[in-house]
Structure 1
C-alpha cells in the first residue's frame, strides 16, 4: 500500500502507510531512523518479530505501548477502531502526523494525505505511547 492514511491512532493522530520512503519525505525525516510497525493481530506480529518469552503476556495485554526488540519498534493495538484499519494490510508503519520536530498542523496533514479517516474520535493530538525495550531477560523504559 503506497497511500498515506491520516487517522486517529490508539494514541494520537498519525500517518499510516506501508511506504516508508514516502513517510520520510512527508515528515522531512532522515532515512536512518526507522518507523514503528503497528499490528492488529498477534499472528502477524509473531511472523515478523520474535518476542522474548518473558514478555509475551506483557505485549498481548499492552495498551498504548510501543516495544523495541533488536532495534525494531512495534505496537500491538487492540482498540477496535484502530485495529479495524490495520487488519486489511496485516501491518502498517505509523508515525505522528506532523513534520519532524514540529507540532500537529491539521492543514499540513490533510494536504499531504491520500486518505483521511475520521471516526467519532475526530483527529486530535494526544499523548504519545510509552516505549519499552525488551530483551530476553530485561525490560527497560525508554519513554
Structure 2
C-alpha cells in the first residue's frame, strides 16, 4: 500500500477519501491547505502514538463507535471499529480521512471515482449515512461539536 495515493473506500459513515498525504486530499477537495483533516486509526495503540488520552476520557474513547474526538493537541482522531474499513486501515495503521464529495456538496459517486487514485469496492457499495458525532475533549470536560 502506498501512503501517498488517495483511496476511495467506504468508511463507517460515508464513502471517503483516505490518504496519508494531506496535499493530495486538499487538491482533490479544493480545500485551503491550512484546514485540517480527521485522522482514522486502526487501534488504541496507534492513537497513543498521536496523543495522550486523559484518565477521565479513556473508557469513553475506548467504547465509542462512529465517534470522533478532538483532543487538546489540536488533532481530531477516530478509532475505527467497522470490520470492513478496519481491514483496509490495518495495512496503513492510520490515514487522513475526508468525505468523497466536493466541498459543501452531497455525495457524487462519479466525481469520487474520477478523483481517487485507487478505488476499494465492497459488496455493500458506496453510500452516505448520518455523519459521525464529534466531541472536543478537555482535561476534564467534554463538549459536543456535532
TM-score, normalising length: structure 1: 0.97
Query: How many equivalent residue pairs?
Result: 143
Deviations 1:28-77 (A, max 9, x none): 00112100100111111111111111111111111110100022101001
Distance in 2 of aligned mates of 1:125 and 1:111: 18
- What CA distance in whole angstroms lies between the structure 1 residues aligned with 2:50 and 2:113? 31
- Greater than 2 Å deviation, 4+ residue runs: none
Unpaired stretches in structure 1, ≥5 consecutive residues: none
Please state whether the residue corresponding to 1:21 is helix, strand or coil.
helix
Whole-Å Cα distance in 1 between the matches of residues 33 and 53 of structure 2? 25
2:29 aligned residue: 27
2:114 alignment partner, one of 111, 131, 137: 111
The Cα RMSD (Å) is: 0.8
Partners in 2 of 1:33 and 1:52 — Cα distance?
26
Gaps of 5+ in 2: none
1:7 maps to 2:9: yes
Cα separation, 1, equivalents of 2:63 and 2:85: 16
Shift of 1:109: 0.5
Matches within 5 A, 1:1-143: 1-70=3-72, 71-143=74-146
Equivalent-residue separation in structure 2 for 1:116 and 1:141 (angstroms): 33
- Please give the TM-score of this superposition, normalised by the length of structure 2: 0.95
